[in-house]
Amino acid sequence: MTDSGKLRLPHPLALLTGCVLLAAAASYVLPAGEFDRRADPVTGRTLVVPGTYQSVEANPVNLFEAMVALPRGMADAASVIFLVFLIGGAFTVVDETGALRRAIPSLIRALRGRDLLVVPVVSLFFATGGVVQNMQEEIIPLIPVLMILVGRLGFTPMVAVAMSAGAAFVGSAFSPINPFQVIIAQQAAEVEPISGALFRMVFLIAALALWIGATMRYAAATRTAPEGTVSDDIGERMTRTDTVIISMVAATFGLMVVGLRSWGWDFDQMSGAFFIMGCLVGLIAKLGIGGTAEAYVKGFRDLAYAALLIGFARAISTVLADGRIIDTIVHGMFTPLESMPQFASALGMVAGQALLHIPVPSVSGQAVLTMPILVPLADLLGLSRQVIVLAYQYGAGLCDLVTPTNGALMAILASAGVRYEQWIKFTAPLYLALVALGCVSIAVAIGIGLQ
């Protein structure tokens, strides 16, 4: 409890540790059981065989074994953790060059005299950051520039948050290539990385059109007299080096897409590609070897918490597997869902992911936590694994827009001087509309048999 008497959620790391202990305790209470599994020669996946659940010998996990599962979980999730470290470190190098901070004012100068067009252009800039790398904390240092901008144009601080954080979070949730959300979830679900990209792209465009259109309407309706003119003192101009750096970032993501689709790349290859990109960016920007290394260290330090969440989340499924009760849980979940339509089951997964994201604010950690349970459940229900990845994206990803446990969101709101309740008043209708759009996406995916 807080001093004001309001209920406060436990720290996410403490909560996940508690879940590890709860999983260990469950191994003493729940009966051990397993489904038979078979290899699918077409997809290469390991599939659960419906109707084969049977009791097996119990293997309860004691307290010490539960604690040992923590480093085991970190080891099991090593490729994901190093992806987070190396991509995050590379983008810290990019941020240290100042290229992103100079890009926004340059965009604004190009739109001088067409003020309202600033909203879609800036929104698409941040949405792209969300689509390609789950942009969140990187937005915080850009808020002061955006506050100067919206003041000059007569827009409210709410517009600054909506066209930065809001657009980025929507882009992340509907992204076909976000390595921290969709690719991690697809890997955990044994789905080919970036498969279904064109399908997701259609709904990404629809989601961004909805968000940007609403932001433009709000900006026009709440506009006041501008504080001044948009002039050259809003920020530094982009340099040729900045253009080269941003082009290198885009090229690296293009290389990642090709590598995943054509060259059999996995997390290790992606991590290597982004590490090389970060090193080259540091040298091109004249940070030097030492400066580039320091930027990587800063990025690693900032992302250590997220990496721990991923490892601790993986430890939960490790304990459940050791206790031989994952299939028992799935069997228990499957029984009440057996008579429900597939679409209703998928919507239940969306709601469950959204609720879980409040105490587990790491989208990558949540993917690692939930996919081992949802994959066999989807197999038993006859749901495509692609559908459960969509349910995860729309449930957990969109929840970033509204959950107070999202540290980046709260920091952005504080930097812009926007109260949380004001943000919720603006966002809630759009959040519900986006969730509804996600449900339409799931319905279509089920209808066409998206794999």
- pLDDT tens sequence across 54-91: 899 999 999 999 999 999 988 888 887 888 788 888 88
What mean pLDDT is predicted for residues 265-284?
A: 89
Residue 29: what pLDDT? 93
Report residue 403's pLDDT band, with 50, 70 and 90 as the boundaries: confident
Q: Residues 334-369: pLDDT tens digits?
A: 667 767 788 988 898 898 888 878 767 778 878 877
Is the pLDDT reported for residue 205 higher than 90?
yes
Least confident of 58-62, 230-234, 252-256: 230-234
Residue 444: what pLDDT? 95
Specify which residues 39 forms β-bridges with. 46
Strands (E) in 121-239, as ranges, are none
What mean pLDDT is predicted for residues 372-395?
A: 88
* CA atoms of 264 and 39, how far apart (whole Å): 20
DSSP class of residue 11 equals P
Is the pLDDT reported for residue 51 higher than 80?
no
User: Position of tokens 């100079």?
Assistant: 102
What percentage of the chain exceeds 90 in pLDDT?
33
Residue 71: what pLDDT? 93
| CA nearest to 164, candidates 181, 195, 140, 132 | 140
Residues 6+ apart with CB under 8 A from 181: 134, 172, 173, 175, 363, 364, 367, 392, 393, 396, 397
Phi, psi of 387 (to 5 degrees): -65, -40
Stronger pLDDT, 307 or 282, i.e. the higher one: 282
Whether the model clears a pTM of 0.85, i.e. scores above it, the answer is: no
Phi, psi of 335 (to 5 degrees): -55, -50
Are the C-beta atoms of 130 and 170 separated by less than 8 Å?
yes
Residue 44: what pLDDT? 64
Are the C-beta atoms of 366 and 412 separated by less than 8 Å?
no
Are the C-beta atoms of 91 and 299 separated by less than 8 Å?
yes
Is the pLDDT reported for residue 432 higher than 90?
yes
Q: Residues 79-125: pLDDT tens digits?
A: 878 887 888 888 889 888 888 777 766 766 676 667 788 899 889 98
Positive or negative, the Cα torsion across 148, 150, 151, 156? negative
Average pLDDT of the chain is: 84
